[in-house]
Structure formats: structure tokens, C-alpha cells
């Protein structure tokens, strides 16, 4: 777009894509636009992790690996960055020492965006951040359907004295009335559980389970059809833990689990979900210290791009 209305990626023909400061997908920063319909935000917080720390460095890593994202989506015949203003809002201000204080800070900053009509796609950070983001989205839209891609349930209770950690965000969200308990769906589950009662608790939190093994015996169309039927037509929050992918496709994550789905399978399901009323989402648990050749960062960056594409299909138009 022209300089007086900043829609789309930065366009400086003299600056190669690998140069300059990396906003997500080379989008404008929030302070450069009058209003953002969608904000990509980094949340560099990992104090809720239970195994490998380091996802606090995930947002910067994802942004660096998003430089190659282009404005046209071939599968959707769509321009994800056109028709509405998407901006990179930088990182939320959040400290590492007090989980509940951090969650409050994330919620406060998320609400400030949502209340002015800006949807959020967050780059984590560990999965703890989903709870305050759900609080902000539900305050605006009411109880939410959640589409949760993950190796793990994340509906556990207290661990080591902490009620809020990266394994409990959806249990706490269900208890707080943030979820529509008839419209929540896990995809890719395979991580270990300590007792079958955890699966019962998960069902009480509103979730149905599609396991990673289902991708070996069911078609993507069948899986996507189940997801669409479960989520319905109301507001949907999409939360994607990068460990839903097999470690061969995403080695840089905090709690890797073998026998996961492939990047291609993840994208195949996402691309069948056009038309959902997605009001927010996150891509979390990217751990740069254990990444190799940017494999995980690339997967996460493209996953966030897929979310933005789904969110914008209804309002797309060709760029000027």
C-alpha cells in the first residue's frame, strides 16, 4: 500500500529480506500504523515450564525465521497481509520471577489490544501464556471453542505447588468459564499420563482427543471434518504447541515427544479449516537452544502465517 496507509510487508527494493530488524514477516511495527486489526505479539516467558527452559527466547527466533514469508498464499489463493492491517506489536512486558504476576501482566496488555478491536496471534514463550490470552479473548467474545494442537493434554492440575504452569492453562480456563465445554478439541496428543483419571479430567474440561496415531489410519479430510464439526460456528481460539510435531520436524522445544505428526500433516489440517471464526491464537514452546538449522523456528513462523491466513480469508483483497 502507499506510504500514507501501511498495509502489508515493508517494501524496500534496496534492502534484502535478510537485512534490517526482523519484525514478524517484515510487517510494520504497531507504532507505525493508526490501528491494527491483528497484532502479532511476542511473549518471552517460560517460567511455567516443567522440563527444558529457554522458550523465553522463542519470539525473537520465530521472527528471525519469518523473513522468508511472502504475501501470497498459493493454497488459499489469498493475500494474508492484505485487506486488513496486521502489525508486529513487539514483546509484552513480562518478568520471569513470579508466574501469577506475569500472567496478570500478559492479560492486562492483551486486553488493551483486544478492547480496541485488535485480535492477537502470540508467539511464545511456554504454554502458560494461553491462559491470560484466553481471559482477554473471552472477555470480548464470551466462552470460546479451543482448537489445541499439542503432544500433551495441558489440562493437568497443580504441579510442585503451582496452579498455573504450562501443563494447566486449559484446566484453569475451563474452571474460570472461559471455554465452551461442548466445543473444544485436542489434535496430536501422544504424551505420557500418570493415571487414566487425567483423561477423565480432560473430558470434563471440554475436550475431545484426536491422537497422533489417528493420522496413520484416517484421512486429513476426515480429521479436519471432525474438528470443524466440534468447533462449530462460534468464536474459536487456536493454540498450537510446536511439540505437536515430531522432534524430527521440531527438535527445538521444551518437552519433545516421539511419534508426532509432520509439518505437512499439521498444515493440511489447518488449511481445511477456512471459514472458522478465529478470534485469536498462539504458537508456543519454541526453544532456540535445542533447534537445529532453524527447523523449529521455520515451522513456527509458517504456522503463525497459516493462522493469519485463516483469520483473514473473509476480508482478503489483492494488495495495491
Per-block mean pLDDT, blocks of 10 residues, the chain (320 long): 63 81 94 96 97 97 96 94 94 97 98 98 98 98 98 96 96 98 98 93 97 97 97 97 98 97 98 96 98 97 97 56
- For the chain, which domains are there? 24-315 (3.40.800.10)
Q: What is the pLDDT of residue 11?
A: 67
Per DSSP, the residues of 233-295 read TSEEEEEEEGGGB-TTT---BSS--SS-B-HHHHHHHHTT-TT-EEEEEEEE-B-GGG-STTH
Give every CB contact of residue 195 below 8 A, 6+ residues apart in sequence.
none
Per DSSP, the residues of 124-137 read ES-GGGHHHHHHHH
Q: What is the pLDDT of residue 316?
A: 46
Label residue 94 left, alpha or beta by phi (over 0 means left) and psi (-120 to 50 means alpha).
beta
Q: What is the pLDDT of residue 16?
A: 83
Main-chain dihedrals φ then ψ at residue 183, nearest 5 degrees: -140, 35
Q: What is the pLDDT of residue 319?
A: 39
Strand 86-91 to 38-43 pairing = parallel
Q: What is the pLDDT of residues 198-210, one digit of tens each?
A: 999 999 999 999 9
Q: What is the pLDDT of residue 62?
A: 98
Give every CB contact of residue 186 below 8 A, 6+ residues apart in sequence.
148, 149, 150, 153, 202, 207, 208, 209, 210
Q: Are 253 and 299 in contact (CB under 8 A)?
A: no
- Three-state SS at 27: coil
> What pTM was computed for the model?
0.95
Q: What is the pLDDT of residues 296-311, one digit of tens each?
A: 999 999 999 999 999 9
Q: What is the pLDDT of residue 320?
A: 33
Q: What is the pLDDT of residue 8?
A: 80
Q: What is the pLDDT of residue 100?
A: 97
Amino acid at each position: 500500500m502507499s506510504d500514507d496507509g501501511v498495509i502489508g510487508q515493508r517494501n524496500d527494493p534496496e534492502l534484502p529480506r535478510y537485512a534490517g530488524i526482523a519484525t514478524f514477516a517484515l510487517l510494520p511495527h504497531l507504532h507505525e500504523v493508526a490501528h491494527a486489526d491483528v497484532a502479532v505479539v511476542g511473549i518471552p516467558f517460560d517460567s511455567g515450564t516443567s522440563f527444558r527452559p529457554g522458550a523465553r527466547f522463542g519470539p525473537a527466533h520465530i521472527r528471525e525465521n519469518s523473513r522468508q514469508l511472502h504475501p501470497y498464499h498459493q493454497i488459499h489463493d489469498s493475500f494474508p497481509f492484505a485487506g486488513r492491517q496486521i502489525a508486529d506489536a513487539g514483546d509484552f512486558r513480562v518478568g520471569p520471577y513470579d508466574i501469577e504476576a506475569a500472567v496478570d501482566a500478559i492479560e492486562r496488555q492483551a486486553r488493551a489490544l483486544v478492547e480496541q478491536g485488535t485480535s492477537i496471534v502470540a508467539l511464545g514463550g511456554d504454554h502458560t501464556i494461553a491462559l491470560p490470552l484466553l481471559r482477554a479473548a473471552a472477555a470480548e467474545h464470551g466462552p470460546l471453542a479451543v482448537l489445541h494442537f499439542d503432544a500433551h493434554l495441558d489440562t493437568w492440575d497443580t504441579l510442585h505447588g503451582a496452579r498455573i504452569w504450562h501443563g494447566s492453562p486449559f484446566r484453569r480456563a475451563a474452571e474460570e468459564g472461559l471455554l465452551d465445554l461442548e466445543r473444544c478439541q485436542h489434535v496430536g496428543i501422544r504424551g505420557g499420563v500418570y493415571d487414566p483419571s487425567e483423561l477423565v479430567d480432560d473430558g470434563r474440561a471440554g475436550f475431545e482427543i484426536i491422537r497422533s496415531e489417528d493420522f496413520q489410519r484416517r484421512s486429513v479430510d476426515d480429521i479436519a471434518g471432525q474438528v470443524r464439526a466440534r468447533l462449530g460456528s462460534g468464536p474459536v481460539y487456536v493454540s498450537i504447541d510446536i511439540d505437536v510435531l515430531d522432534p524430527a520436524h521440531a527438535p527445538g522445544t521444551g518437552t519433545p515427544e516421539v511419534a508426532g505428526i509432520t509439518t505437512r500433516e499439521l498444515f493440511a489440517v489447518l488449511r481445511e479449516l477456512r471459514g472458522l471464526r478465529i478470534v485469536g491464537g498462539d504458537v508456543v514452546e519454541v526453544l532456540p537452544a535445542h533447534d537445529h538449522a532453524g527447523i523449529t523456528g521455520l515451522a513456527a513462523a509458517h504456522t503463525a502465517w497459516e493462522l493469519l491466513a485463516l483469520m483473514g480469508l473473509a476480508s482478503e483483497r489483492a494488495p495495491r
